[in-house]
Amino acid sequence: MDPKEIAGLVLFGTPLAPMDPKEIAGLVSVGILLMLVVVIIVLFTVFVKRKNKLLEAQAKAQETFERELAESQIEIREETLRNISWELHDNIGQLMTLAKIQVQTAAEQPENYEEASETIGTALNELRALSKLINPEATRKMSLKEAIETEITRFNRLNFINSSLAIEGTPERIDPKKEIILFRILQEFFSNTIKHSKASNLSVALHYDKKYLQILAKDDGVGFADESTSTGIGLRNMKNRAKLINAELQVFSEKGKGTSLHMEYYYE
C-alpha cells in the first residue's frame, strides 16, 4: 500500500490492517538489539571511567611512595651525617686529645706511652667502624638485617644504650625500596628511645616467617600515657609510612613502663 494511502486511512480513523507476526518479531528483535547495544555502550563507558580512576589512583599512590622513599633516604642520610659529626667531635676527637695528653706526659711517666698507644688504637678502630657509615655505596647495599645490626652495634660501642638484636627464621630479601622505609621507621623509634625515653635497655627482634616479617622493638624508658602528649615521637609519620608499604604497625606505651613497637610486613 502506498504511504500516502496509509496516512489517509490513519487520518480518517480507518484502522490499519493487523501486522504480520514475522514483522512484529522483527521489530522486537531490533528493539532488543538496540537495547543490548545501549547497555554495552553504558557498561563500556562505566568500565573506562573506573579504569581511568584506578590508573589515576595507582599513579598517585606510586607518586606518594616515591616521595616518601626519597624523604626516608634523605632522613637516613641526615641521621648518618649527624652520627658521623658526633663521633668525630665527641668520640674520636676526645680519644685523640687524650692520646696527645698521654704522649706529652710520657717524658715524666714512661708508662703513658703504652696507654697512648692503646688510646690511638681504640681511635683507629672507631674510625674503621665509622668508615662503613661514610661509604654510601656500602650503606646502600646493606639488607634490613645488616642495617639494624650496624645500628645496634653502634649503640653498644658508644654506650648510648644497652642494646640487643635477636633473629629467628631465615632472613628473606625484601624489595630494597621497602627495606629503606622499614629501616627508617625503626630508626625513628631508636632515635626517640635514645633522645626522649631515658631508657637503659633496648631490645629488637626480627622473626622471619614464610609469609611475613615480624619486627618487635622495646625499651624500658619512661613511656607515655597518650600519643598526643608524647614529645617528638613522630608516631603519625611512622604509621603513615607503614601503611604506604602495607605493613601493620602498632606502638604500645605505658607511663613508667616503656614503649614497644610491633610491626608486620607481608611479602608480596
Give the per-residue pLDDT at 217: 96
Task: Copy the grid coordinates of residue 203.
Answer: 631490645
| CATH code where residue 194 lies | 3.30.565.10
236 vs 124: CA distance, rounded Å: 40
Q: Within a domain: residue 150?
A: yes
Q: What is the DSSP letter of 232?
A: S
Give the per-residue pLDDT at 17: 55
Q: Which amino acid is at 178?
A: K
Domain count, the chain: 1
With a CB cutoff of 8 Å and minimum separation 6, the contacts of 141 are none
14 vs 199: CA distance, rounded Å: 103
Give the per-residue pLDDT at 268: 72
177 vs 220: CA distance, rounded Å: 31
Q: Within a domain: residue 174?
A: yes
Q: Within a domain: residue 185?
A: yes
Paired residues of 248 in beta bridges = 264
- Give the domain range for residue 267: 144-268
Secondary structure (3-state) at 208? strand
Q: Within a domain: residue 97?
A: no
Give the per-residue pLDDT at 32: 86
Q: Within a domain: residue 189?
A: yes
Q: Is the pTM of this model over 0.95?
A: no
Q: What is the DSSP letter of 209?
A: -
Q: Kindly calculate the radius of gyration of the chain based on its CA atoms and give it in whole angstroms.
A: 36
Please, what's the b/e burial string for 65-101 (b: 16 or more CB within 10 A of its CB; e: otherwise)? beebbeebeebbeebeeebeeebeeebbeebeebbee
Cβ atoms of 267 and 175 within 8 Å: the answer is no
Q: Within a domain: residue 195?
A: yes
How far does Cα 224 stand from its chain's mean position? 24
Q: Within a domain: residue 61?
A: no
| Helix or strand (DSSP H, E) at 247 | strand 247-253
206 vs 219: CA distance, rounded Å: 15
Ramachandran bin of 254, using left for φ above 0, alpha for ψ from -120 to 50, beta for the remaining angles: beta
User: Which stretches of the chain are DSSP H helices?
Assistant: 3-11, 21-86, 93-104, 111-134, 136-140, 144-157, 176-196, 235-244
The segments of the chain whose pLDDT lies below 70 read 1-19, 22, 86, 132-140, 225-233
Give the per-residue pLDDT at 92: 76
Q: Within a domain: residue 260?
A: yes
